Structure 1
């Protein structure tokens, strides 16, 4: 019975298998779908959602490489970087504070053999213009708070982390991994307590445990994280201008070339071929004698090219105009005289003044950090930078010598005019001092109107009091 049951199960299984094979299976239908991926997919941004205003990593790298190459090899690009550096720093910069002890701390930092700010500051400003960003890790002596600055190449910055509650505030820097696969995490410096951040942001900043660092950018946006080079917009035009000049160099070489054209009158092809084997170019200063059947002529190429100086000026001014640099600053005098030259330079000095304010902020931020570290090392309270003893100021000299003659003449006229107005009670003393201060400011002298009026009134009262109590003149010696 067992064998019969087993045989029945095998037969039933074979029948089921045969039925399944003979019956066509129902195919499931699926709609074909796909996604097209471009080669530059990572360089596109979404139209909605979190918008990233930074350049792509590859574009950021290429910007740095091209800017550095042009600064080294392109004369015009070099001047666009070096001229602002010279105007801003040629006469030197210094950090000042009214408190003598704090001034000694700043001087020690400035003249430190590692910091050497007089020597390294032009490098920092130059690289800020070339790369659009700078990162300075700090090294602090825990005993006395002395600060030394390091340097992190922008090419080693992998990620710039911003505050999740405030996209414009950078809170940390992550570097690329080294050969051991380790990336450093620097906490960006703010001159204030950590409590200025939210609790969530403070937790994130605690993960940046490899030290503190300054991070500064230029040509950036509030919703961006990386800076941009001053040469970014001009890179292609600078390269094109240089290629144009090299083309003109080749053209000039071709224009100087010439050949001898020899005409044989009435000669047969055989005679021409024979003569061509006998002829040779004459040496300079030699004499050649021939009859009227042979004519020699030096032929130079006529390329029918227009004067290229206007084209060169057009390209050059396009680049200079983009950098707000007048033409005569790069050897293109044109029809410029002294009056027009001074007026043409005013927009440039406005741009340079804006950059000077950026450098001023950077140096003053570093100076405040130096004083904070000194205070923390001595277990002092958090410095109040609104007080004069802690108020660090970066002092820059004048970028250019001013023509003070017209301001001096204007000051004399203003003083005379306000004096007459005061005598006739047409003007208050405060307004009169404000007018004088407006002209004095052009001469580099700022007047505190209220303090100056108070001091002037005090001096006038003292003079009047002295005149009242002065002994009258003794006329007895003059009497007969």
Structure 2
């Protein structure tokens, strides 16, 4: 059946309109909308989609840049985790010298880079460290932003064994080669003696079965935005509430006379507190907006409590004194210090792992070359973090002082032996120790010349847990 002239015209018009709308949609398509709801082929089921992960990283970075609360949350974590300093010890002399050289190398400057790494770990939930090694065995560490990594390829049966890291394409569309993951059994010098760059990935807030971590700011990004909007609205409302205008009423003979009077007043407006003298033909009035700005402190405090709960910080850490008593502040700080302690233990492990990789590569670079100064790849490296609170040291010292009096009495009565006494004493002062090694070193050490203390007896007086000073006894 042949189509009529009207049907053919309608078909052509509809086809042109469909093509125009499809072209407009394709031109407006972006990476964020085109990949919405998609997953990588090798991604885990519980992994965030690619577009959501990129958007979360972008929002966290933007909040850190423009929101004072977000910046302060990240700074607090870094100050407690790294602010006290990260140190290391190694009993092997050559290995210790190499580690100090690596730590202070101008291209490493680890003391300056560690706070940046902690910021990146807290802000994005992921820390990518690129390790480059020269033919002499000196390693250099560079942190790669999490936003520059598109995909982490792992073994099909184990997400904890990464194979390579795919960087994001360049602005001109060119794809960069993937960075290989570090595998100690496969790492070896190339033919020219150099090492290929390898990457290590560390993640926090990572669900089981996932590869990517999540930012500490991610649960509170929405509330940070709401608090900023609420504060801006309150500031704008208070500004307009105090605004006012003058209305001058008078009898003018013409419109030109009125405009001339208005121009004179605009050129020299009356200052607040000044005196105006007017005749009976002119009257002044003041108008101002009657805005109902009720007390909204409760609303702002509720939003700030949500932010504090989401980040694990007490309100007085965020410039909001919830209570004026010291007891409340101390009780609120307990879980926070425990959280910082866990994060510090994780970060210390990260630093120890990187130092271990550097020592392994140094040993491979030295090979069988003759000469002294060879590092020991099996030497134990102990990394130590700074104290979170001086009050903890006072409490631990007091606990160790008291428990030492108890275990000394037990040892004198033959109820425990020397290893048990040493183990309990070190446990109560919050330190870990190799008991047998300490006993051997103690037996080999020369006498100190200090008279031993009498058996038993508790330390006299009381100690303030906040300042560590002896309390003054008050006689009544």
Check whether TM > 0.5: yes
> Is residue 187–residue 212 contact of structure 1 (8 Å, CA) maintained in 2?
yes
Q: 1:149 aligns with which of 141, 161, 165?
A: 141
CA distance in 1, matches of 2:282, 2:180: 87
Q: 2:213 aligns with which of 205, 223, 227?
A: 227
Q: 1:436 aligns with which of 403, 406, 425?
A: 425
Please identify, of 276-285 and 430-439, the stretch whose mean Cα deviation from structure 2 is larger: 276-285
> Is residue 242–residue 288 contact of structure 2 (8 Å, CA) maintained in 1?
yes
Q: 2:237 aligns with which of 246, 251, 264?
A: 251
> Cα deviation per residue 1:99-133 (whole Å; 9 max; x = unaligned)?
11011111222122211211122112211222222
Shift of 1:369: 0.8
CA distance in 2, matches of 1:90, 1:237: 28
Shift of 1:420: 4.7
> Is residue 186–residue 210 contact of structure 1 (8 Å, CA) maintained in 2?
no
In the alignment, which residue of structure 2 is the partner of 1:78?
A: 71
2:42 is the alignment partner of 1:55: no
> Cα deviation per residue 1:240-263 (whole Å; 9 max; x = unaligned)?
110110000011112212356899
CA distance in 1, matches of 2:283, 2:404: 86
Structure 1 vs Structure 2 CA RMSD: 4.1
Q: 1:417 to 1:323 in 2, by over 3 A?
A: same
CA distance in 1, matches of 2:233, 2:173: 49
> Is residue 102–residue 389 contact of structure 1 (8 Å, CA) maintained in 2?
no
> Is residue 45–residue 52 contact of structure 1 (8 Å, CA) maintained in 2?
no
CA distance in 2, matches of 1:72, 1:335: 30
CA distance in 2, matches of 1:131, 1:303: 42
Q: Which has the larger radius of gyration?
A: 1
In the alignment, which residue of structure 1 is the partner of 2:155?
A: 163
What are structure 2's unaligned runs of at least 5 residues?
A: 1-31, 188-194, 251-257, 370-375, 450-476
Given the two structures, how large is their TM-score scaled by the length of structure 1?
0.70
> Is residue 35–residue 51 contact of structure 2 (8 Å, CA) maintained in 1?
no
Q: 2:129 aligns with which of 99, 123, 136?
A: 136
Shift of 1:425: 6.3
> Cα deviation per residue 1:378-405 (whole Å; 9 max; x = unaligned)?
2269xxxxx9962122221112212555
Q: 1:354 aligns with which of 330, 342, 347?
A: 342
> Cα deviation per residue 1:15-59 (whole Å; 9 max; x = unaligned)?
xxxxxxxxxxxxxxxxxxxxxxxx97955489xx98422222222
Q: Secondary structure at the match of 2:45?
A: coil
> Cα deviation per residue 1:67-107 (whole Å; 9 max; x = unaligned)?
11111110000001111111122232233311110111112
In the alignment, which residue of structure 1 is the partner of 2:389?
A: 400
> Is residue 132–residue 229 contact of structure 1 (8 Å, CA) maintained in 2?
yes
In the alignment, which residue of structure 2 is the partner of 1:268?
A: none
1:295-374 equivalence runs, <5 A: 300-374=288-362
CA distance in 1, matches of 2:91, 2:444: 26
In the alignment, which residue of structure 2 is the partner of 1:112?
A: 105
In the alignment, which residue of structure 1 is the partner of 2:57?
A: 64
What are structure 1's unaligned runs of at least 5 residues?
A: 1-38, 196-208, 265-275, 382-386, 464-480
CA distance in 1, matches of 2:405, 2:148: 63
CA distance in 1, matches of 2:175, 2:122: 29
Given the two structures, how large is their TM-score scaled by the length of structure 2?
0.70
CA distance in 1, matches of 2:82, 2:163: 30
In the alignment, which residue of structure 2 is the partner of 1:193?
A: 185
CA distance in 1, matches of 2:398, 2:131: 50
In the alignment, which residue of structure 2 is the partner of 1:5?
A: none
> Is residue 89–residue 383 contact of structure 2 (8 Å, CA) maintained in 1?
yes
> Is residue 96–residue 106 contact of structure 1 (8 Å, CA) maintained in 2?
no
Shift of 1:354: 1.7
Shift of 1:373: 0.7
Q: Secondary structure at the match of 1:148?
A: strand
CA distance in 2, matches of 1:447, 1:137: 34
Shift of 1:457: 8.6
CA distance in 1, matches of 2:50, 2:354: 28
CA distance in 2, matches of 1:211, 1:430: 46
Shift of 1:212: 1.7
Shift of 1:446: 4.4
> Is residue 352–residue 381 contact of structure 2 (8 Å, CA) maintained in 1?
yes
Please identify, of 362-371 and 300-309, the stretch whose mean Cα deviation from structure 2 is larger: 300-309
1:371-390 equivalence runs, <5 A: 371-379=359-367, 390=379
